[in-house]
Structure 1
């Protein structure tokens, strides 16, 4: 039982645990996630909005359609252990959009792990994920909680795409995966939350040698680093390059996180993908001279941004021109956005597979809200169809087919084909 909380706006706070609580519901992506669930959650799924300000939560609730205007509200501050414990006790699944997660997320992970409450976030912060694995994986295993990081554009398309390639190869008895490369193309705005996470990551690795080593390790999220196979992994950064099909590529800003999530999935599954798996990600920039110029621009832009963040004197200028956390693009920009991940895999027997993962909407906002919302529904309603494991997991190892099916039904593409 959960003690009712006073709600002067007229809605009842939950006296029984809800199925899903959206923490950070007053932020940009949190509100988008709430709207997606208001429009797409199956009948009977009980949902609450959670955050620090009851007044702002009430305003978010009032903007939602239909019965969502009666959803209960849960007031909780991420720095208050008693509050995060109450939040975890009030829901079967907690979805959180409150980042940077290294700054605001640790306490909520602990509360969910201890309560046996499933948890999903949008983090792209590899050091935060490593820390929560070390602290709470064992606790979550013992309580049955699934702690699932990176349930947005970071890193669901990458993780599920490689998982589907593995499934296809296994069904054909084609041997383990060896060389797998994902080429990402997208149209969308820059996420303020991603920028803030990048800022925090650069600060951490600049001042702490141990953190720098962890961030550079391609297997830093492995459950047992000493047991990892030894094939070298593709570099996360580099120069513009031209693929065999004529596509020009640049470094993909999310590769350093996505690749480590995929490798953790492989390790959690006993290296079922293949002990010789080499996995890398690139950003596709088009073909011909325009593609070459675009690739050079993207490469230079990423390098300049990372370099600028290391210069304290430039920080105030960046803060003025880059989007702030909690902000987002216009509705028109979100609707015009899209993403596509082209996963190209080879196996030990020489067979090739291609997995296409794509979806409409700005990837960091509209598409991410769909991914997080459907992750919550998968965890809340998947039951015995979910993989039978708990602890600090990945989207593929926590939800597998259940999430793929939900995302397909929500309008995203997950297509597997030969070579």
Structure 2
């Protein structure tokens, strides 16, 4: 897939006023991300805070560590393209937490691509990434911009999990990846209000026939602008798959349930493989699951309950009256757990594959902190810092990218330094 940097390459300019601008800094995850940058970005990193209200931005800045108290404030609004153009022209990287992206993100991604400004977000909305590919990829290639979607718990563990397997298998000269399965081994934390709001928007749009076809297409993000692949749905595992754990790897027990973010994460991983010219292998197939216990009978019942519950939830979110009832109890955008609760959170994900030579491998990602909040803020901030500060280590790919395709080795190193455990090993 063509994504080499264009001759303009304005995004690599050293004359930008800022390294990173945090757009949506007054939101819950936006403030967490700004706090992480204040605590952990290298001395001399130039950061600004952006949002619709200067008063709210100033209040947010006061709550941040002392180092952030002189960070400039930028007033910009997703409904004002001129303000977005002015904002992205000032920075090397725009980091945005302003979602749902289908509602508020379209103008910003086009502005960043046009200005040659690198971009990171938290979207789990496959239709938005599809829009971005069609509207911004060619422009970003021409200007040298890297537009990198899904830089939080959706979808960095998934994307790096497969990427680490690929790197290890290539280093071992062990063939290519075949059937590959991501397993959420443990998840301690809550689902963010922003993620719930994205589900609301996708559920609303799924009533449109074309959007439904896009959501059901396992390779909806794997193509070039204006050329979406149309494979049979059966060409990849179902996003609602229930699997015997032993079929994933002989070391596992019980039954694996569907993972609720598979519909987004799987498409990001498949786009990575497409961007890397199918480096994972011609027989690479990818699925996502979650562990619900190792006891055969109980885990099978639990996996079935998860599958039914997920379907019922998505159906309820697409139906106005039931969605209103759910809105009363589900977290809203801008809300989140206490610091104590965020600190108690954690996740462990594992990705398994068997190669074309018959050798078995597993990668693992382990992080402390609530996956949807604290850990996501770390992943998003380190993604932005990877683009802003380590450009000479990145690949030559530009355009609408994925975390692994844009900054796989760099991001892996930065996350390890930030305390995450990432590894890939051969199984015997």
Alpha carbons of 1:62 and 1:290: their partners in 2 closer, same or farther (altered >3 Å)?
Answer: farther
SS in 2 for 1:157: helix
SS in 2 for 1:363: coil
SS in 2 for 1:302: helix
TM-score (norm 1): 0.93
Q: Deviations over 1:257-280 (max 9, x none)?
A: 111000000011110110110100
Whether contact under 8 Å (1:26, 1:56) holds in the other structure is yes
* Whole-angstrom CA distance in 2 between matches of 1:296 and 1:348: 31
Q: 1:417 maps to which residue?
A: 425
Number of residues of Structure 1 aligned to a counterpart in Structure 2 = 404
- State the Cα distance separating 1:290 from its structure 2 match: 5.3
Could you tell me which runs of 5 or more consecutive residues in structure 1 were left unpaired when the two chains were aligned: 1-14
1:32 aligns with 2:36: no
Q: 2:264 maps to which residue?
A: 257
Residues 128-137 or 237-246, more deviating: 237-246
Q: 1:237 maps to which residue?
A: 240
- State the Cα distance separating 1:249 from its structure 2 match: 1.8
Q: Deviations over 1:331-389 (max 9, x none)?
A: 22211111111110111111111100110011011100000000011000012101111
Q: Deviations over 1:201-243 (max 9, x none)?
A: 111121x211111111111001246779988211001447554
Whether contact under 8 Å (1:342, 1:356) holds in the other structure is yes
* Whole-angstrom CA distance in 2 between matches of 1:367 and 1:138: 32
* Whole-angstrom CA distance in 2 between matches of 1:141 and 1:30: 28
Runs (4 or more) in structure 1 with deviation over 6 Å come to 226-231
1:205 aligns with 2:206: yes
1:134-153 correspondence to structure 2 within 5 Å: 134-153=134-153
Could you tell me which runs of 5 or more consecutive residues in structure 2 were left unpaired when the two chains were aligned: 1-14
1:169-248 correspondence to structure 2 within 5 Å: 169-184=169-184, 185-206=186-207, 208-224=208-224, 232-239=235-242, 241-243=244-246, 244=250, 245-248=252-255
1:325 aligns with 2:333: yes
Whether contact under 8 Å (2:242, 2:255) holds in the other structure is no
SS in 2 for 1:417: strand
* Whole-angstrom CA distance in 1 between matches of 2:408 and 2:199: 28
Whether contact under 8 Å (2:241, 2:289) holds in the other structure is no
SS in 1 for 2:281: coil
Q: 1:276 maps to which residue?
A: 283
Residues 389-398 or 295-304, more deviating: 295-304
1:11-22 correspondence to structure 2 within 5 Å: 17-22=17-22
* Whole-angstrom CA distance in 2 between matches of 1:45 and 1:101: 27
CA-atom RMSD in angstroms: 1.8
Q: 1:155 maps to which residue?
A: 155
Residues 280-289 or 227-236, more deviating: 227-236
Whether contact under 8 Å (1:229, 1:276) holds in the other structure is no
SS in 1 for 2:292: strand
- State the Cα distance separating 1:311 from its structure 2 match: 2.2
- State the Cα distance separating 1:52 from its structure 2 match: 0.5
1:372 aligns with 2:401: no
SS in 2 for 1:99: coil
1:303 aligns with 2:311: yes
Whether contact under 8 Å (1:229, 1:275) holds in the other structure is no
1:384 aligns with 2:392: yes
- State the Cα distance separating 1:313 from its structure 2 match: 1.5
Alpha carbons of 1:242 and 1:277: their partners in 2 closer, same or farther (altered >3 Å)?
Answer: closer
SS in 2 for 1:387: coil
SS in 1 for 2:373: helix
* Whole-angstrom CA distance in 2 between matches of 1:234 and 1:299: 14
